[in-house]
A and B are shown apart, each in its own frame.
Chain A
Amino acid sequence: RLADIAKNSLSVDREINGDKSSRQITTDGSNLVVTFSAETARILRVSVNGFMDSLILVTRTIEAFS
């Protein structure tokens, strides 16, 4: 259930470099599965780093209030 909550919160916003990178978020039981693809390694790194900040915020919110 918590994985679904994270997925729902994180899926709403589009990727910034929409044409050069993309991500897919799914759940597998209580695991959140995120697949990134990007045109260059630099763009991939930027996408993943940005996503991690968002993910950490979501998990901290879940920890604080569930």
Chain B
Amino acid sequence: MSSPRTIIALGLEGSANKLGVGIVKHTYPSGITASELAPQYEELANIRDTYNPPAGHGFQPRDVAAHHRALILPLLDKALAQAKLQPQDIDCICFTKGPGMGAPLQSVALVARTLSQLWNKPLVGTNHCVGHIEMGRAITGAQNPVVLYVSGGNTQVIAYSQQTYRIFGETLDIAIGNCLDRFARVLKLPNDPSPGYNIEQYAKKGSKYIPLPYTVKGMDVSFSGILSFIEQLAKTQKDKYSAEDLCYSLQETMFAMLVEITERAMAHINSSEVLVVGGVGCNVRLQEMMGEMAKERGGNVFATDMRYCIDNGIMIAQAGALAFARGETTKMQDTWITQRFRTDQVHVAWRD
């Protein structure tokens, strides 16, 4: 039996308009063995700041990067203070390598690289999607669920197999969150706290279902057609359809599509558990609809609250620390960031 081991990981996240700094502590009471043995995890800090442009606008990479550059050092200070740690207590510096927006990712990576040299600590370049998955697993304790990862930038149905998070189905064009965000702009809903949240509130007040295109293609989905269609309705038939009914119909249609492709994956791998991660995973109506489907299959839906489903730093620390425990670090010349980074490119060394 090996001796107990503790890893304290710093996580830096900034792939979209959320800047997150998190610190996690992993304890392996019997040491790190070759087989899958999940550590006890303890959250030491998880701080986030969101950049929101004015209503009717989307966020541009340049402005997001400027936001991240301005706030990352104060957030870092705050996180260390909250965790009551000094730089020398950190074992590894995890940062989002990708996927995401270029300039914002780069500004966070620059800080990570600089800290790594100043503090003489290794870097762990982490995949954003894997961060969401590992945080979801840690918080909910779901054993081997089908994962529905839905956010402004990503829409994927994922299942674990042989040290890879395999993508079973995904969007063929835009992410569901992107569709929601862009529709919110047409309606001029506020972007604070997030456009999707405001659509959800409007949808709760809607009741009339307006038929919209339903675009599931085998294991995959497509959202750009629905977006064009509903934008057209909102712009040309303002008097006929209320914003509340439009939001309601959009959610019902798109969420039903997600339920369908998730169920297909569940049937494929004979699983009854669903884990929903990513910013759109906060949506209560989506959780409800997914829950109904899972119940019919004798299973459960797992979801996390907004501290963890919305982009955050501790999920990067979580995934990074798991990789670090298996000896994975990123050499300085390999710490380049990338806008495209497939979930299935990661070698999941910490699972069987």
Contacts and interface: CB of A to CB of B under 8 A. Distances in A.
Interface of A: 5-6, 8-10, 12-14, 16, 53-54, 56-58, 60-62, 64-66
B338 to A, nearest CB: 10
Nearest to A14: B336
Given A5-B118, A54-B106, A12 B113 contact: yes
Contacts of B337: 13
Interface of B: 65-66, 69, 72-73, 76-77, 87, 102, 106-107, 109-111, 113-115, 117-119, 332-333, 335-337
Most buried by B among A12, A14, A54, A56: A12
Contacts of B73: 60-61, 64
A9 B113 CA distance: 5
A35 B110 CA distance: 19
Nearest to B80: A65
Chain A contact residues, majority secondary structure: helix
Contacts of A54: 106-107, 110
B112 to A, nearest CB: 9
Contact of B110 (A10, A64, A65, A66): A10
30 contacts: A5-B117, A8-B113, A9-B110, A9-B113, A9-B114, A9-B117, A10-B110, A12-B335, A12-B336, A13-B106, A13-B336, A14-B336, A16-B102, A53-B66, A54-B106, A54-B107, A54-B110, A56-B69, A57-B111, A58-B111, A61-B73, A61-B110, A62-B118, A64-B73, A64-B76, A65-B87, A65-B115, A65-B118, A65-B119, A66-B118
Contacts, number: 57
Nearest to A53: B69
A8 B332 contact: yes
B336 to A, nearest CB: 5
A66 to B, nearest CB: 5
Contacts of B332: 8, 12
Chain B contact residues, majority secondary structure: helix
A5 B333 contact: no
A17 to B, nearest CB: 13
A5 B69 contact: no
A13 to B, nearest CB: 6
B110 A58 contact: yes
B117 A12 contact: no
7 closest pairs, A vs B, by CB? A9-B113, A61-B114, A5-B117, A9-B114, A57-B69, A65-B118, A61-B111
A54 B72 CA distance: 13
A8 B117 contact: yes
A62 B69 contact: no
Nearest to B106: A13
A14 B47 CA distance: 30
Contacts of B106: 13, 54
A56 B107 CA distance: 11
A9 to B, nearest CB: 4
Contacts of B119: 65
A60 B335 CA distance: 20
B77 A64 contact: yes
B190 to A, nearest CB: 29
A32 B114 CA distance: 15
B114 A12 contact: no
Contacts of B333: 12
B113 A57 contact: no
Given A58-B110, A65-B118, 12 more contacts: A9-B117, A12-B332, A16-B102, A53-B66, A53-B107, A54-B110, A57-B69, A58-B111, A62-B114, A64-B73, A65-B115, A66-B118
Nearest to B113: A9
